[in-house]
Protein backbone atom coordinates (compact mmCIF):
# COMPACT_ATOMS: atom_id res chain seq x y z
CA UNK A 1 0.00 0.00 0.00
CA UNK A 2 1.48 3.38 -0.95
CA UNK A 3 2.27 6.06 1.60
CA UNK A 4 0.34 9.33 1.59
CA UNK A 5 1.44 12.87 2.28
CA UNK A 6 -0.39 15.91 3.56
CA UNK A 7 1.36 19.04 2.30
CA UNK A 8 0.45 22.42 3.75
CA UNK A 9 1.65 25.88 2.83
CA UNK A 10 0.95 28.44 5.53
CA UNK A 11 0.93 32.23 5.33
CA UNK A 12 1.24 32.89 9.05
CA UNK A 13 -0.48 35.95 10.49
CA UNK A 14 -0.21 35.17 14.23
CA UNK A 15 2.73 33.16 15.60
CA UNK A 16 1.08 32.68 19.02
CA UNK A 17 -2.00 31.23 17.37
CA UNK A 18 0.12 28.87 15.30
CA UNK A 19 1.88 27.72 18.46
CA UNK A 20 -1.50 26.84 19.98
CA UNK A 21 -2.48 25.06 16.76
CA UNK A 22 0.81 23.16 16.81
CA UNK A 23 0.11 21.73 20.25
CA UNK A 24 -3.40 20.58 19.40
CA UNK A 25 -2.48 19.23 15.97
CA UNK A 26 0.55 17.36 17.34
CA UNK A 27 -1.68 15.69 19.93
CA UNK A 28 -4.07 14.66 17.14
CA UNK A 29 -1.20 12.94 15.31
CA UNK A 30 -0.48 10.60 18.22
CA UNK A 31 -1.80 7.19 17.25
CA UNK A 32 -2.58 8.31 13.67
CA UNK A 33 0.73 7.05 12.31
CA UNK A 34 1.64 10.58 11.24
CA UNK A 35 5.30 11.43 10.71
CA UNK A 36 6.33 15.03 10.09
CA UNK A 37 8.91 14.82 7.30
CA UNK A 38 9.61 18.49 6.67
CA UNK A 39 8.92 21.93 8.11
CA UNK A 40 10.60 24.63 6.07
CA UNK A 41 10.11 28.37 6.58
CA UNK A 42 11.80 29.19 3.28
CA UNK A 43 11.57 26.46 0.65
CA UNK A 44 13.69 27.04 -2.43
CA UNK A 45 11.33 27.90 -5.25
CA UNK A 46 12.50 26.31 -8.48
CA UNK A 47 9.61 27.40 -10.70
CA UNK A 48 6.47 29.49 -10.42
CA UNK A 49 5.20 31.05 -7.22
CA UNK A 50 4.79 29.43 -3.81
CA UNK A 51 2.25 30.34 -1.17
CA UNK A 52 3.08 31.12 2.42
CA UNK A 53 5.85 31.46 4.95
CA UNK A 54 6.15 27.79 5.86
CA UNK A 55 5.68 24.45 4.14
CA UNK A 56 4.91 21.28 6.12
CA UNK A 57 4.96 17.69 4.84
CA UNK A 58 3.39 14.93 6.95
CA UNK A 59 3.63 11.26 5.95
CA UNK A 60 0.97 8.62 6.62
CA UNK A 61 0.85 4.89 5.95
CA UNK A 62 -2.01 5.33 3.44
CA UNK A 63 -4.44 7.80 1.93
CA UNK A 64 -7.11 6.32 4.21
CA UNK A 65 -4.95 6.93 7.30
CA UNK A 66 -4.29 10.53 6.25
CA UNK A 67 -7.96 11.22 5.63
CA UNK A 68 -8.93 9.56 8.93
CA UNK A 69 -6.47 11.85 10.75
CA UNK A 70 -7.70 14.96 8.94
CA UNK A 71 -11.33 14.11 9.71
CA UNK A 72 -10.63 13.03 13.31
CA UNK A 73 -12.21 14.91 16.22
CA UNK A 74 -8.73 15.81 17.49
CA UNK A 75 -7.64 17.47 14.26
CA UNK A 76 -11.04 19.07 13.69
CA UNK A 77 -10.44 20.84 17.02
CA UNK A 78 -7.12 22.17 15.68
CA UNK A 79 -8.40 23.49 12.35
CA UNK A 80 -10.13 26.65 13.68
CA UNK A 81 -6.92 27.56 15.55
CA UNK A 82 -4.94 27.31 12.32
CA UNK A 83 -7.53 29.17 10.29
CA UNK A 84 -7.49 32.04 12.80
CA UNK A 85 -3.69 32.27 12.69
CA UNK A 86 -2.79 31.54 9.05
CA UNK A 87 -4.04 31.27 5.51
CA UNK A 88 -3.33 27.69 4.49
CA UNK A 89 -3.38 25.60 1.34
CA UNK A 90 -3.49 21.86 2.01
CA UNK A 91 -3.37 18.84 -0.26
CA UNK A 92 -3.39 15.08 0.22
CA UNK A 93 -1.04 13.30 -2.18
CA UNK A 94 -0.81 9.54 -2.71
CA UNK A 95 2.69 8.11 -2.88
CA UNK A 96 3.87 5.62 -5.45
CA UNK A 97 2.90 1.99 -5.08
CA UNK A 98 5.80 -0.20 -4.01
CA UNK A 99 7.06 -2.63 -6.64
CA UNK A 100 6.24 -6.24 -5.97
CA UNK A 101 8.80 -8.91 -6.78
Q: Phi, psi (5° rounding) for residue 64?
A: -65, -40
- Residue 99 is assigned to a structural domain of this protein: no
- Residue 100 is assigned to a structural domain of this protein: no
pLDDT tens for each residue of 44-69 = 999 999 999 999 999 999 999 999 99
Give me the domain span that covers residue 31.
4-94
- Residue 89 is assigned to a structural domain of this protein: yes
What is the pLDDT, as a whole number, of residue 98? 72
Length of the chain: 101
CB–CB of 28/8 below 8 Å? no
Q: What percent of the chain has pLDDT over 90?
A: 86
- With both helix axes pointing from N to C terminus, report the angle between 15-29 and 73-85 in degrees, rounded to the nearest 10: 170
The CATH number covering residue 44 comes to 3.30.70.100
DSSP 16: H
What is the pLDDT, as a whole number, of residue 83? 97
- Residue 67 is assigned to a structural domain of this protein: yes
- Residue 12 is assigned to a structural domain of this protein: yes
- In SS3 terms, 42-72 reads as CCCCCCCCCCCCEEEEEEECCHHHHHHHHHC
Amino acid sequence: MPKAYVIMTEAIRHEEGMAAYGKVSAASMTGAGARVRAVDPRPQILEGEWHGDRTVIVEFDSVEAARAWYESAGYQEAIPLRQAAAVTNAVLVAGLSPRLG
